[in-house]
Structure 1
Amino acid sequence: MARALITGIGGQDGSYLAELLVAKHYEVVGLVRRDPDEDIPTLREVEDRVELVRGDLLDPASLRRAIADVRPDELYHLAAPTFVPASWEDPTSTMAAIAGATSTLLAAVLEIDRSIKVHVATSSEIFGDAGESPQNEHSPCRPRAPYGVAKLAAHGMVRVMRAHHGLFACSGITFNHESARRPDHFLPRKVTRGAAAIKLGQADALELGSMDAVRDWCHARDVVRGAWMALQHDEPGDYVFASGIGRTVEDLVTTAFNVVGLDWRDHVTVNPAFVRAPEATPPVGDPTRAREVLGWEAETSFEEMIREMVEADLAETAQYMAGSE
């Protein structure tokens, strides 16, 4: 039975990956920053089949100890700060938590057991103003925020450790991926929650920024399946995991409000304070290599994903309303 260690197991991606690996009969151990005995809602489906250990991205000793104690066959490093704007407030901690933690884990694998296969989740933010769209594994990298700089450093560390030491280390360059487990401060969840609240009479309007901004959205389940597939391949490598389709915020809003049978134009307003300058390079991924090498592709359509999110938000909002009566 294979043994996997997942950092960030309580997050959106980590919880879906845990479910995938449990279904494949792995022994799954998750690294969490909180008390391992605390309830983690995202893990309720598999909480009796995963083991949790404590660790912190800013505590290198705890990361090395986790590798030494767990001795996994596969390490999935998913934990990281995820909200890009917050990286401007504390770029030092962002760099330490992303690039520093990745370096620590790779070094620990090298020291303790270099047969461990490693997947590191990087980000489309490494490309920034790449000058070409869609972006692939060889596109120029010109990140626009400290978060992207840190992810690029982690991405580079995977490459050099693989090339110099022969580690089986892969970088998953993930574009925007969503689900009903996405935190509220991310735009797609804000939109789906807003549509549900308006439908159920809990809100009258939804305030957004530019409706023309472009993103490449796919489901988190597909992304973590790609991570697993990368570690099953004969050779390590880097892969873009994305739908390959750029959609606007208006596309997102239209799809969400269609689920609840409403015309978004009757409920959504644009706040100029939220509007940012258009990006020079639309962040759209080219998943050709993942498809050709791994046989991976996004299986959940954009429309299915948004419907799943809206329906989850409708159910949660209705439950809240019933409980408050």
Structure 2
Amino acid sequence: MRALICGVSGQDGAYLAKLLLAKGYDVWGTSRDAQVASFANLERLGIRSKVNVISMAVNDFRSVLTTLSRSDPDELYFLAGQSSVGLSFEQPAETLESILMGTLNLLEAIRFRDKPVKFYHASSSECFGDVGKQAADEGTPFQPRSPYAVGKASAHWLVSNYREAYGLFACNGILFNHESPLRPARFVTRKIIAAACRIAQGDKEKLRLGRLDIVRDWGWSPEYVEAMWLILQQSVAEDFIIATGEAHSLEDFVSAAFDSVGLDWHDHVISERSLFRPTDIAWSQGNPAKAFSCLGWKSKVRMHELVSLMIKAESLN
């Protein structure tokens, strides 16, 4: 089996590459410029030399078509595109183009080549917006509240449309928040973990965050990429929510991080209104019942263990 991972240098892409290599896949991965990209996450996981890297611009159909012809994948995972909700408010055009046009070009390239390829699109829990204190399932309506969420929701429906209109094996994995030590420092979970470790080592800084009352469903990235793979092993293409089913506030996450290093977070953290987003989701929680029923998938690592794993990894850096 051969897999092409668009976005192989990111958190999920690197863990997915490691998983597929362990299963005996021939793994290909894309970057906008593979000749100069560092692929630091692949290096960190010790698999850089085992992944065939190739340059591809997702917003350029010719580039996409050429990449598919060269790699000739059985499975295609689209994990690329601008992935920061906060940054999407500052770069809305880039965010929508990378997500929406990337999805469209890949689907069109698959259709154009007329060769069976199983396609996985990384949809997002952000598509649901605010649904109250309800756990969203696959039938929950979308109410996107950021440029990132608008792009992901539009791409989600493109995948569904191509599946129905052209019979493509195209699936959406609606992943809720999932973290790991490979998260870039700009993401709030890694920002919290890194600051807690620095402060525990004597740094006098104050950790400045936005809202602490937001609630999220946090899982462990290495488990979530296994769900991606399982989605493409089904006989029928469907969409699945991937989540823990548990909800915790950001304050809970902060408290767990500082507790792990023997500190009281109240002494080191400041919530600043200037860091609040124009719109933010108050409560985000998923119902993974379908994934358990159809895929046999269930998360094992929950928020407190996730924090401990990230603290341990950060301490070794």
**d(CA) in 2 for partners of 1:36 and 1:10?**
13
Q: Is the 1:9–1:18 Cα contact (8 Å) retained in structure 2? A: yes
Q: Which moved more, 1:87-96 or 1:247-256?
A: 87-96
Compute the displacement of 1:278 (Å): 8.5
2:80 maps to 79
Where 1:232 maps in the other structure, the secondary structure is coil
SS at match of 1:155: helix
Determine if contact 1:132/1:139 at 8 Å carries over to the other structure: no
Which range moved further: 204-213 or 77-86? 204-213
Whole-angstrom distance in 2 between the partners of 1:40 and 1:277: 33
Asked if structure 1 preserves the Cα contact closer than 8 Å seen for 2:9 and 2:31, the reply is yes
How far 1:58 sits from its partner (Å)? 2.3
**How far did residue 205 of structure 1 move?**
2.5
Partner of 1:120: 121
TM-score (norm 1): 0.92
| Unaligned 5+ runs, structure 2 | none
- Looking at structure 2, the residues matched to 264 and 254 of structure 1 have their Cα atoms a distance apart, in angstroms, of 6
For structure 1, list consecutive stretches of 5 or more residues without a partner in the other structure.
317-325
Aligned position for 1:223: 224
Asked if structure 2 preserves the Cα contact closer than 8 Å seen for 1:131 and 1:280, the reply is no
8 Å Cα contact 2:130/2:282 also seen in 1: yes
Q: Does the C-alpha gap of structure 1 residues 210 and 105 become closer, same or farther in structure 2, counting only changes over 3 Å? A: same
Aligned equivalent of 1:213: 214
State the shift of 1:280 in Å. Answer: 6.6
1:269-288 superposed matches below 5 A: 269-275=270-276, 282-288=283-289
Worse-superposed segment, 83-92 or 187-196 = 83-92
Deviations 1:10-31 (A, max 9, x none): 0000000000000001000001
Residues of 1 paired with 2:154 and 2:131: CA distance?
Answer: 16
The alignment's C-alpha RMSD in Å is 1.7
Alignment of 1:9 onto 2:8: yes
Q: Secondary structure at the match of 1:210?
A: coil
How far off is 1:277 after superposition? 8.2
Q: How many residues align?
A: 315
1:60-89 Cα distance to aligned partner (Å, 9 max, x none): 211111111111000001001011122223
Q: How do residues 138-287 of structure 1 correspond to structure 2 at under 5 angstroms?
A: 138-275=139-276, 282-287=283-288
Q: Shift of the alpha carbon at 1:204?
A: 3.6
The answer (yes or no) to whether the contact 1:95–1:147 under 8 Å persists in 2 is: yes
TM-score, normalization by structure 2: 0.94
Please identify, of 100-109 and 267-276, the stretch whose mean Cα deviation from structure 2 is larger: 267-276
**Greater Cα offset, 206-215 or 142-151:** 206-215
**Structure-2 change in CA distance of 1:153 and 1:280 (3 Å):** closer
Partners in 1 of 2:281 and 2:7 — Cα distance? 32
Q: Once the 2 structures are TM-superposed, how far is the Cα of residue 165 of structure 1 from its aligned partner?
A: 1.2
What secondary structure, in the 3-state scheme, does the structure 2 residue paired with 1:67 have? helix
SS for the counterpart of 1:237 is coil
Contact 1:133 1:281 in 2 (8 A): no
Aligned-pair identity in percent equals: 38
Deviates more, 1:141-150 or 1:30-39: 30-39
Distance 1:137 1:76 in 2: 20
Amino acid at match of 2:11: Q
Which amino acid counterpart does residue 236 of structure 2 have in structure 1? E
CA 215–47 in structure 1, closer or farther in 2 if over 3 Å, else same: same
